[in-house]
Amino acid sequence: MESFAHTPAPARPQGPLRGMRVIDFTHFVAGPYATLLLADLGAEVIKIENPKRGDEFRHYPPALDKLDGEGAPFLWVNRNKKSVAVDMKTPQGQQLLRELIKDADIVVENFSTGVMERFGLGYEELAEDHPRLIYCSVSAYGRSGPFADRVGFDPIVQAESGFMSLNGYPDREGVRTGASVMDIGTSMMAANGILAAVIERERSGRGQLVETSLYASAMTMVGYSPLQVLSSDNWNAGRHGNGSPDTAPTGVFHASDGRSTSPAPAPTSTSACSS
């Protein structure tokens, strides 16, 4: 495998969020990608993990022997962060976390509904002593309503939102994307909300609660297809493969600029590349 030279990050973070501290209670992807964006913008991000196993995403394959068995997916979504192991179930751990939050600008969490409140770390309780705190809560289906207690995952909301029905070929079942686009999209929405709250705090001096969910983001990711259907009696918003019902030329075309790296069989004449 080809190796690449590593350039260390600067000793002092750069970027527009330098000097800001984020306490990160997130895990897996929907949440950690949001704090990753904040870290890339210069914020100091302190990730809180379980002392026994840490974030379960640490154990996703492949494990990298040169980095003490850390999983490559975990490293992808947690660059530029610091990590602290704290037992949130103990009074001592909860007190330590409250002390950390006193000096923080932003808290981000994506636990199941009610978990942070049970630990005394919900927004309402923290905001009483820290009115400038920006608190972002990422959930599967929102923190209120009949689905507030449901656990959600990227492939599930791809199906529930109708996103899968738009992907694939018309003569086959819908397919999900290989990448966790709903998790990543939700994190981007969360980061946008946090940045807006930072601007508002500069104006008013007060923080606020920011919320987003996988399902809300999934309904955004289906794009303009629902409006097309609602605006026409005969519009087909189904699966069109690599083509498009409203744009041309769109597709995968035979070309002459090299072999495709796809595992799919190569064409008999020339190679294929995406437009």
H-assigned helices in the chain: 32-40, 72-77, 91-102, 115-118, 123-129, 154-160, 181-204, 214-221, 225-231
d(CA 64, CA 62): 6
Residue 75 confidence (pLDDT): 92
Whole-prediction pTM value? 0.85
Identify any residues that bridge with 169 across adjacent strands, giving them in sequence order.
none
Q: Which one-letter DSSP state was computed for residue 3?
A: -
Q: Give residue 68's pLDDT.
A: 74
CA distance 75 to 54: 13
Is 183 a known active-site residue? yes
* The CATH number of domain 21-221, selected from 3.40.50.10540, 3.30.300.30, 3.30.2350.10, 3.40.640.10: 3.40.50.10540
For residue 71, list its beta bridge partners: 63
pLDDT of 260 strictly over 90: no
Selected catalytic residue, list 183, 233, 246, 257: 183
Percentage of the chain lying above the pLDDT 70 cut: 89
Q: What is the pLDDT of residues 236-252, one digit of tens each?
A: 778 888 888 778 888 88
- DSSP letter at 206 equals -
- What is the per-residue pLDDT for 247? 81
Quickly list DSSP for 6-67: --PPPSS--STTTT-EEEEE--SSTTHHHHHHHHHTT-EEEEEE-TTT-SGGGGPSSEEGGG
Residues 134, 106 contacting (CB under 8 angstroms): yes
Indicate the domain borders of the chain.
Answer: 21-221, 248-275
The sheet that has 134-139: what strands, in order across it? 81-85, 44-49, 21-25, 106-109, 134-139, 209-213
DSSP code for 108: E
